[in-house]
Structure 1
């Protein structure tokens, strides 16, 4: 376990090419059917981008070059299913194995609805017969089950998660199942897969310790200590004076971080983002911490250069996609984020005539699209240092 004392306000800027070795902008095709607002969730499957748009409750499927392929409209999932019609509530999707293949799975509480890349439903499974939130630990046979329930007779104990192997079940962090009825929270337990086989990070509710999950155990990897001005009270999760007043506390203390939004370890670098009510112009929230040199780089202060066609690689400081969502995915040594076409066209206009050469995808995008078009995915390959 390492203790990291981090004052994010000390993080310095850098040029894009100092941090990344490859940058790709992938505009997502805009049609009447494919038009959507923001990328709330991003995954990849068989050379396609799978996107969840929270506002429209839709899952959209695009090719690796951004060509629209299909749409799964959440409002239509239960069409003809009278016992569920009009009651569907879902907040994302999962990529799951299904009959020696992988499918897009949407949980409507009663059922797990399974779709292929053409947006066609290929299976419908009762949720009780499919542990819909199980996550495979990369490179292992072990599973992580959030919200694990251990039953002993008529009694049940709820845990934040359990590690499941063929021979053992290891549950961690018991909690009161009624906590959300009794209180309000601005955070939840989170998992971050960062590409190392058999490992992922876990961060508990309103916690700032990074735990490492492996097939055999949970261990504390990094204990993060922040300046007092950014730190939650030590008794924040236990003192009754904060019950149902947590939002009020954060509004009154906008510089206090209330969660870790993402945490990825890439070689010697730890990528992290904190969340608080203060604006990004007031508080630095996203950094790269080098575990070898202890240097911190501010992801909000990356300077565009020729590697990025002099376009920003995130919209921090100008718009709110990166501040609200940060990196959406780490997959095959690439980090993914996104920002709106409104931001992209604004950034291009700021360049004036100083930058005339873009990638073929961007050239076509700037010729045919506008500020109201779909968002643009930004694919970044971090340097190994």
Structure 2
């Protein structure tokens, strides 16, 4: 008992020291450096991190059959999927039943966004040969075409991330174009609104002081997107600036730097370019090709107790079927033990019936995991589901009724299976 109490005191002291260290650094504006080497990330079992793993087969019919999940949107009442093969947006109910689909107009590429405040799906149809030709369509969460929603129907302003209690986040940038000179002026990368009124400006960046950053990037991840890389927990979200990889904790009142993430030189975009002051050199940096798979930013940042989850983002990915370093993009960092784990290296176990919980090919690498309603979502192809079933027969897995029915009636060519799970406390 004395040894247990002594160990408990050590752990409490370590946690307190970490908290003091992070708070002191946050107040000074110099967050602790978090060095992340994907090649050194550990693995483990899926049940070490997730519980209540639930499989949701997406109904497969002649009308609903599609190729691959290009984008997944999880809402309270549906799953919305963009598929390049069938050139359509598909809608499925929470139980996986098919609700309908919308075919894309010819010669267009869609930009699909979930407007959380208006509870609608926005689709920008952009002409493949003329980017100036755009059209905007709205759909309900179940797939019905609807007129543009009235602004009075919005709880939060359009294009904002709801933080709760009437507050929302709007993202800006400090970018300036070729031929222009940086201004000795402050540009705020984030703004907080209370209703329609500006409440507070956050993340001040001076174009002249941050010349290279503003010229090359000038924003946080998904600044022009639909906030798909942001997770809000109790009015707080986390985000990071591109290349700098400065991770901020954002609330309605503050933007606190919590970490600066540093990747190995062979993995990440070189931070040395941020010191350049010559636009001609910066133009050459823009034109230079970076190796496929280079991590340029981080997204999908959130905490679960002492564990920090985040994803490395790359403009271009290279697919690997093995667990080599080039395919590691999703991380779990234990802020107390300082152990780094990769989601790509988690192995199926009895908690998930020895079936994969993530796409072992491109899905996890490109899209990462999805968050909604306190649960984590991913997907697995039917090919991988049936292959895993064959390989694990000797483990005598216990399948729930929905999977028994799925394996009985579906094939390797059926639609993917969504996976819903809880983070383990």
Matched, 1:22 2:57: no
Report if the CA contact (8 A) 1:148-1:171 is conserved: no
CA-based RMSD of the aligned residues comes to 3.7
User: Partner residue of 1:122?
Assistant: 146
Report if the CA contact (8 A) 2:36-2:261 is conserved: yes
Q: Which moved more, 1:343-352 or 1:59-68?
A: 343-352
User: Aligned runs of 1:42-53 on 2, under 5 Å?
Assistant: 42-53=72-83
User: Partner residue of 1:225?
Assistant: 262
Matched, 1:270 2:308: yes
Unaligned runs of 5+ in 2: 1-25, 127-133, 175-182
Report if the CA contact (8 A) 1:160-1:174 is conserved: no
**C-alpha deviation, 1:377, in angstroms:** 1.0
User: Aligned runs of 1:243-258 on 2, under 5 Å?
Assistant: 243=283, 248-251=288-291, 256-258=294-296
The 1-side partners of 2:102 and 2:284 are apart by 36
The 2-side partners of 1:133 and 1:87 are apart by 26
Equivalent in 30, 45, 62 of residue 32 of structure 1: 62
Question: 1:87-136 deviations in whole A, cap 9, x for unaligned?
Answer: 865311213444xxx33333458665332244222212699x99642221
User: Partner residue of 1:103?
Assistant: 120
User: Partner residue of 1:82?
Assistant: none
The 2-side partners of 1:255 and 1:107 are apart by 28
Equivalent in 229, 233, 237 of residue 196 of structure 1: 233
TM-score (normalised: structure 1): 0.78
User: Partner residue of 1:83?
Assistant: none
The 2-side partners of 1:96 and 1:15 are apart by 34
Equivalent in 323, 336, 341 of residue 281 of structure 1: 323
Report if the CA contact (8 A) 1:7-1:226 is conserved: yes
The 1-side partners of 2:386 and 2:65 are apart by 17
- Name the structure with the higher helix share: 2
Q: Which moved more, 1:220-229 or 1:286-295?
A: 220-229
**C-alpha deviation, 1:261, in angstroms:** 4.7
Question: 1:242-299 deviations in whole A, cap 9, x for unaligned?
Answer: 6365585422xx6753232532222221112224656463313322111222222221
Equivalent in 313, 320, 323 of residue 362 of structure 2: 320
Tell me: CA distance 1:292–1:45, structure 2 relative to 1, closer, same or farther (3 Å).
same
Counting matched residue pairs gives 354
Report if the CA contact (8 A) 1:111-1:124 is conserved: no
Tell me: CA distance 1:97–1:287, structure 2 relative to 1, closer, same or farther (3 Å).
closer
Report if the CA contact (8 A) 2:350-2:397 is conserved: no
User: Partner residue of 1:141?
Assistant: 166
Matched, 1:163 2:192: yes
TM-score (normalised: structure 2): 0.71
Question: 1:68-99 deviations in whole A, cap 9, x for unaligned?
Answer: 11223332xxxxxxxxxx6865311213444x
Question: 1:186-206 deviations in whole A, cap 9, x for unaligned?
Answer: x95455433412111222233
The 1-side partners of 2:312 and 2:396 are apart by 33
Question: Of the two, which has the highest radius of gyration?
Answer: 2
**C-alpha deviation, 1:356, in angstroms:** 5.0
The 1-side partners of 2:287 and 2:83 are apart by 25
Equivalent in 81, 96, 102 of residue 72 of structure 1: 102
Tell me: CA distance 1:105–1:60, structure 2 relative to 1, closer, same or farther (3 Å).
same
